[in-house]
Amino acid sequence: MALHTIENKTAETTRTRSPVGPPKKSARAHAAQRWRRKASRVVLYGALIAGAVVMLFPFFWMISSSLKTFQEVNLSPPTMLPSDPQWSNYAQAWEGPPSGFGRYFLNSLIVAVLGTALQLVTGITAAYAFARMKFRFNNLLFLVVLATMMIPFEARIVPNYVLIRQIPLTGGNDLLGEGGSGLYDTYAGMILPGVAGAFAIFLLRQAFMAVPRDYWDAIRMDGASHWTFLWRVLIPMTMPAVLTVVLFGFIGRWNELLWPLIATQSESIRPVQLGLMAFSGDEGSLYHLLMAATTLVAVPGIIFFLFVQRRFVEGLTAFGVKG
Amino acid sequence: MASEIIVRRRKRQRMERLWLPALYLAPTLVLLWAFDIYPIFLSAWMSLWRWGIQPEEFIGLDNYIRIFEQIGSRPGGAPGEVGQSLMVTGFYVLGTVPATIVIAFVIANLLNSKVRFLGALRTAYFVPYITSTVAAGLAFVWLLNPQVGVLNSLMEWFGLPAQQWLLDPEPIVPKLLGAVGIGWPDGAPGFLAGPSVALVCVMAFSVWNTLGFAVVIILAGLITIDPQVKEAARMDGVNSWQMATRITMPLVSPTLFLLLVVSTIRSFQSFNEVYVLTSGGGYGAGAGSPLDSTLTLPVLIFRHLYERPSSVGFAAALSMLLFFLLLIVTLVQFRFAERRVHYD
Amino acid sequence: MSMSKRAALPSFLLAGTLLVTSCSGGDAGDPGNAAASTESIDGIELPEGVEIDFWHIQATIYGEAMTEMVQEFNATNEWGIVVNESFKGSYQELNQAVRASLAGGGAPDVSMAYENDTLEYVANDVIEPLDPYIESEQYGVPEEDMADMVDGVLARQQVDAYNGSTLSWPHGNSSMGMYYNADLFAEAGIDAPPADWDEFLDQARQMKDETGLPYSAMGTGKNGIYYNMLRSKGITPYDPGAATTEFTSPESIESLELLALLFEEELAYTAADTEQEFTNERTATELGTTARTSTKIEQIQDKFQWSVALTPQETAEPITQLYGGNHVILSSDDPEQELASWLFMRWFADTDAQSIYAARTGYSPAVESALDTELLSTNYEENPQKAAAFDNVFVNAQIMPPTAAGNAIDDMVTGIVEEVVLGRLTPQEAAERMDAEATSLLASAPQN
């Protein structure tokens, strides 16, 4: 492990290069430069838009399929656009699964918001300890945290289920965790196993470590504590990383499927991804409704992303963050 | 007086060194222990058993010996199930991780410049990550349909032969060489022939699917770069290539390093992509078809866990194999790649 | 029910005790509770309002039909039993949930299961044998009702490997049939689906000559078709009891040769979704599950004439693959709970429920009397292909002999048959490899 070599290293490449005044240029050179810039703009836009089309095509396909009839969605070769858009598919998909999608959305929102908030708090404090505190076994412990990312998900399912059912004093359990159903079939049971996330800790640790030590030394002079430094200085300076954790935390929970399936039994508390399963089964799928429902389920994630990416830009200007 | 203050401060510092980190780490460590670390110990224990619904027989290291035996060849010269899945996983990781990071780095840089419709463009690149793998997989399956897919229409348009894509277990290298008239030597080792056409399709899907994730991670790093640094470099007459490799890259290296580690781990654990694209409809062909040419290690674990009798112990042993493989790869990445990372 | 493991697992708080305690469950199959007897069952006076949990894998129209049936049962059963149904995802996910619940508590009372799982469950003593319930005076199944059940469906509840016990009861069933496009048949001058495999090949060539279209689309898993060929020639592909196979028999070589020929002459081809190939008129026939009859009716509508026939047969006793799942009772130490589970299962496999299931979905009814109900007879009149699926195909369907090694053998056979149609292996080589691998898989499979 080379973890110990990394504190306080400066990127000399950038620091030693001091800015010099703009060189004077002739009018012709200016014109040529402007033209070159224009051309490179065109290439840039061309590339970005072409890439975006490739990236978006399956999404377009999803929406197009969501507006077809059962017959048309199974046509092959398929039609690009629905011959007669079936907007009613959305209403049908919304009502389709046993609890109706309104309920699934609410459940997912509860799980995603609470889960992400808890993950953020535990992630921030843990990352801070790893990035900024000197204690024995720091590197070793961090490695242990990272190692939890490497555990195959199949290995977790059964032990987590057993544990959730045996949390003492919940769901009719006694002090020893026996007798009741614990957190099985509850929101808490769905949320808890994902709260501590190695990825969030890793991402925040990297961001915290990138903040120059001078800031800490300065605030330390004023007698501020770790706690103050963390929330007043570090978090605002690493806002993009924090937002990234929030974004992926939210989407991760929103898309979770297997664990909620195992950890719940009542349709009334199940999340959206389980609602989607109502449209495909071992004996065939209702692709038109599946696509309509999938489109609806993707909307909150997209809205969330738009919000976060806007904050990215604001964060940049508001805090004037330095590298 | 002064010495007393110093002593007290030292004492406080010592307390801080012990208790403060413990306090900051406690919630995380307790939860990780209960939900992640304990299960891996349990897996290690289960891997020493023949285990079905419950433990059946303590067999020591037999499951590991079985893994070792199944690396070797089956009748007919093909590698055993485990050997095959290790090879497939290797192709998969090597084929997806570098490609994803390089493409994402380029796109993130482009998206970090001042362009119009920035929000819309960024969203476009992120949407695949939000879209459910199942729905996106269906779109890909249709694109790659051998009979009526768009890709085969394109191939025909370019005068190229139509392909079986996701149904094609043939390795890609001899196929490509064959297309330009070079024969493949019979005795050449199997891994040189490369991944199957089907696996290449799955890998392409995976890159498409995870690109948005990588782009956002890199963007978050790029945004924190002080614009003055770049401006100063530009004044110095640094061209775009130098800007990317000499200025931007070192400054976002902590982020790139994180991405490398995380993407590698995720790639080793890829299951959904394979499952959605190649498990086929109807009866018979399970995930990993055709001819096990897309059988990644997690798919093999899944197969033994649910489709083989009393193989939970064997699946646990395979899980341990995957876990330790990842641990070694990650340690190597820390040992060699993190040296190049600049923390400021 | 596996109490030893439940006691072992809360040790998560103490790493040290983990390894010690989790081995206390080491002796596989703790004795469990004594099986119920007919007398003890007859003696139970079921109180009003017993609740049971039922886990299944059914979504789409199948899920809707199931909800409807469960509601019907809850509303009408004379004991006031309340069934709480819970969808548990794909079959593997259901399996995962059941295993987790067996380790940590909260197992359902009734679950869907296939024969291979039933074998594993009974070996671990976690399910209840059903014979005492069937024979019960008060709660049993009368003789005439037993006779009413379709032969293959009844047979799969009491296969040889269960050693004379009945361990499961029907859920929903379908069978492997041969869909054919009657318009394309007419165009090629073919008047009826093939009676045997030689005719199958002749028709395939005729189809290619007359229309230029391939005769049959086959999925990526061709083991089912290959097994079907063997069984239609009077051969059972493998015998789990004796750990022997018939893969090297002349009939098997003949079948592999036919498959190789069909692909070599491009009379058949591999498609990921064979149903799509058939409904979009790119092929004249499809060998597949009759459960898809209902979706085909909706997809094809008036595009072309079609029906479903029995796969080609070469003996006097026609046979084809039987598909679908069963129900099992998971032991709960509570006789009332178990009896309520049985009463629900009995109802589910009986005339009313099966007629709803068959009318709403592509499954065929487990009992013949369902055909006489108004619901199903009307449905079959309106959808003649569904009636054809039952009359022509379903009544001839039998499952393959179940074995714990079944999935492993299927995967192996799928792979090797694929190599035959790709021309990488000769039928003879393939047959020998399949025989060698299957024999060793059967020999090493846990015996029941």
Closest alpha carbon to A299 in A94, A152, A151, A116: A94
Tens-of-pLDDT digits for all 448 residues of chain C?
333 344 444 444 443 333 333 433 333 334 444 567 888 888 888 899 999 999 999 988 999 999 999 999 999 999 999 999 999 988 888 988 998 898 888 899 999 999 988 988 998 899 999 999 999 999 999 999 999 999 999 999 999 889 889 999 999 999 999 999 999 999 999 999 999 999 999 999 999 999 999 999 998 889 999 999 999 999 999 999 899 999 999 999 999 999 999 999 999 999 888 898 999 999 999 999 999 999 999 999 999 999 999 999 999 999 999 998 999 999 988 999 999 999 999 999 999 999 999 999 999 999 999 999 999 999 999 999 999 999 999 999 999 999 988 888 988 899 899 989 999 899 999 999 999 999 999 988 775 4
Same domain flag for C206 and C268: yes
Distances (CA, A) of B71 to B43, B74, C442: 21, 9, 21
Residue B263 CB neighbour total at 10 angstroms: 21
How many domains does the structure of chain C reveal?
2
With contact defined as 3+ CB pairs under 8 Å, the chains touching A are B, C
Q: Name the residue of chain B whose CA is nearest to A65's CA.
A: B139
Average pLDDT taken over every residue of chain A: 83
Percent of chain B with pLDDT over 90: 29
* pLDDT of amino acid B228: 80
Q: What is the pLDDT of residues A85-119, one digit of tens each?
A: 999 999 999 988 877 888 999 999 999 999 999 99
Chain B, 49-78: which have a CB under 8 Å from a chain A CB? none
Percent of chain A with pLDDT over 90: 33
Q: Which burial class, exposed, middle or buried, applies to B245 when counting CB atoms under 10 A from its CB (0-12, 13-18, 19+)? A: exposed
Same domain flag for C252 and C388: no
Same domain flag for C66 and C133: yes
Q: Name the residue of chain B whose CA is nearest to C437's CA.
A: B75
The tokens for B112 are 């970090």
Residue A169 CB neighbour total at 10 angstroms: 12
* pLDDT of amino acid B70: 84
A20-29, A292-301, B152-161, C416-425: which range is least confident on average?
A: A20-29
Characterize the bridge pairing of strands C285-289 and C216-218: parallel
Q: Name the residue of chain C whose CA is nearest to B287's CA.
A: C411
Q: Which residues fall within 8 angstroms of residue B340, CB to CB, at 6 or more apart?
A: B253, B257
Nearest-CA distance B19 → chain A (Å) = 10
Whether C363 is covered by a domain: the verdict is: yes
A interface mutation test: which of C86, C286, C303, C361 has the most A CBs within 10 A?
C86
Question: Is the pLDDT score of B50 beyond 50?
Answer: yes
The tokens for B145 are 């349909």
A interface mutation test: which of B9, B19, B25, B150 has the most A CBs within 10 A?
B25
The tokens for C374 are 């108004």
Question: Is the pLDDT score of A1 beyond 50?
Answer: no
Q: Name the residue of chain B whose CA is nearest to C413's CA.
A: B284
- Are the beta carbons of B309 and C12 separated by less than 8 Å? no
Whether C15 is covered by a domain: the verdict is: no
What CATH number does residue A193 fall under?
1.10.3720.10
CB pairs under 8 A between A and B: 296
Whether C32 is covered by a domain: the verdict is: no
Q: Which residue has the higher pLDDT, C377 or A5?
A: C377
Whether C269 is covered by a domain: the verdict is: yes
Question: Is the pLDDT score of A6 beyond 50?
Answer: no
Tell whether C191 is within 8 A of chain B (Cβ).
no
* pLDDT of amino acid A23: 52
Residues B193, B195, B200, B204, CA torsion sign: negative
Same domain flag for C438 and C419: yes
- CB contacts of C224 in chain B (<8 Å) are 283-284
Same domain flag for C153 and C71: yes
Largest CA distance in chain B: 91
Same domain flag for C383 and C412: no
Same domain flag for C423 and C292: yes
Q: Which residues pair with B73 in a beta bridge?
A: B79
* pLDDT of amino acid A58: 83
How many domains does the structure of chain A reveal?
1
At which residue do the structure tokens 């991405």 appear?
B259
Q: What is the pLDDT of residues A227-281, one digit of tens each?
A: 899 998 899 888 888 999 999 999 999 988 889 999 999 989 999 988 888 888 7
Chain Cα centroid distance, residue A12: 33
Across B154-172, average pLDDT = 86
Q: Report whether C115 contacts C156 (CB < 8 A).
A: yes
Whether C7 is covered by a domain: the verdict is: no
Q: Name the residue of chain B whose CA is nearest to C1's CA.
A: B54
Across B100-123, average pLDDT = 84
Same domain flag for C307 and C183: yes
* pLDDT of amino acid A25: 58
Nearest-CA distance C402 → chain B (Å) = 12
Q: What is the pLDDT of residues B259-289, one digit of tens each?
A: 999 999 999 998 888 888 886 433 334 666 7
Question: Is the pLDDT score of A3 beyond 70?
Answer: no
Please state, in angstroms and rounded to a whole number, the distance separating the CA atoms of residues C172 and C156: 12
Please state, in angstroms and rounded to a whole number, the distance separating the CA atoms of residues C171 and C348: 7
Whether A305 is covered by a domain: the verdict is: yes
Of C361, C378, C398, the position where a domain reaches its end is C398
Whether C144 is covered by a domain: the verdict is: yes
Please state, in angstroms and rounded to a whole number, the distance separating the CA atoms of residues C445 and C419: 25
The tokens for B95 are 């084929």
Q: Which residues of C214-223 are buried (b: 16+ CB within 10 A; e: fewer)?
A: bbbbbbbbbb
- Are the beta carbons of C298 and A281 separated by less than 8 Å? no
Nearest-CA distance A106 → chain B (Å) = 18
Q: Report whether B291 contacts B279 (CB < 8 A).
A: no
The tokens for C282 are 């790119």
Whether A158 is covered by a domain: the verdict is: yes
B interface mutation test: which of A14, A128, A255 has the most B CBs within 10 A?
A14
Tell whether B115 is within 8 A of chain A (Cβ).
yes
Q: Which residue has the higher pLDDT, A17 or C403?
A: C403
Grade residue A314 by pLDDT with cuts at 50, 70 and 90: low
Across B133-140, average pLDDT = 80
Grade residue A313 by pLDDT with cuts at 50, 70 and 90: low
Q: Report whether B236 contacts B70 (CB < 8 A).
A: no
B contact set with C (CB within 8 A): 33-34, 38, 41-42, 45, 49, 52-58, 75-76, 141, 145-147, 164, 166-167, 169, 280-286, 289-292, 302-303, 305-310, 312
The tokens for C209 are 């000559």
Please state, in angstroms and rounded to a whole number, the distance separating the CA atoms of residues A161 and A174: 18
Grade residue B232 by pLDDT with cuts at 50, 70 and 90: confident
- At B6, give phi and psi (nearest 5°): -60, -45
Same domain flag for C170 and C199: no
Which domains, ranges and CATH numbers included, belong to chain B?
63-73+80-340 (1.10.3720.10)
Same domain flag for C296 and C188: yes
- Domain region containing A203: 102-319
* pLDDT of amino acid B229: 81
A195-199, B118-122, B326-330, C437-441: which range is least confident on average?
A: B118-122
Whether A97 is covered by a domain: the verdict is: no
**Any idea what DSSP says for residue A227?**
H
Q: Report whether C290 contacts C172 (CB < 8 A).
A: no
Whether A25 is covered by a domain: the verdict is: no
What CATH number does residue C170 fall under?
3.40.190.10
Please state, in angstroms and rounded to a whole number, the distance separating the CA atoms of residues C428 and B44: 43
**Length, in residues, of chain C:** 448
Chain A, 83-142: which have a CB under 8 Å from a chain B CB? 121-123, 125-126, 128-129, 133-135, 138, 141
CB pairs under 8 A between B and C: 131
Please state, in angstroms and rounded to a whole number, the distance separating the CA atoms of residues B168 and B290: 7
Closest alpha carbon to B226 in B190, B252, B189, B199: B252
Question: Is the pLDDT score of A2 beyond 90?
Answer: no
Tell whether A74 is within 8 A of chain C (Cβ).
yes
Q: What are the DSSP calls for A35-77, one per residue?
A: HHHHHHHHHHHHHHHHHHHHHHHHHHHHHHHHTS-HHHHT-SS
Same domain flag for C394 and C409: no
Same domain flag for C277 and C419: yes
A38-52, B73-87, C300-314: which range is least confident on average?
A: B73-87
Tell whether C79 is within 8 A of chain A (Cβ).
no
A interface mutation test: which of C62, C87, C98 has the most A CBs within 10 A?
C87
Residue A39 CB neighbour total at 10 angstroms: 10
Of the candidates A5, A65, A323, the beta carbon closest to that of B251 is on: A323
ipTM for this model:
0.84
* pLDDT of amino acid C362: 93
Question: Is the pLDDT score of B322 beyond 90?
Answer: yes
- Domain region containing C385: 42-174+323-398
Give the 3-state secondary structure percentages of chain B, helix then strand then coil, rounded to 5. Answer: 70, 5, 25
Tell whether A282 is within 8 A of chain C (Cβ).
yes
Closest alpha carbon to B227 in B248, B242, B246: B248
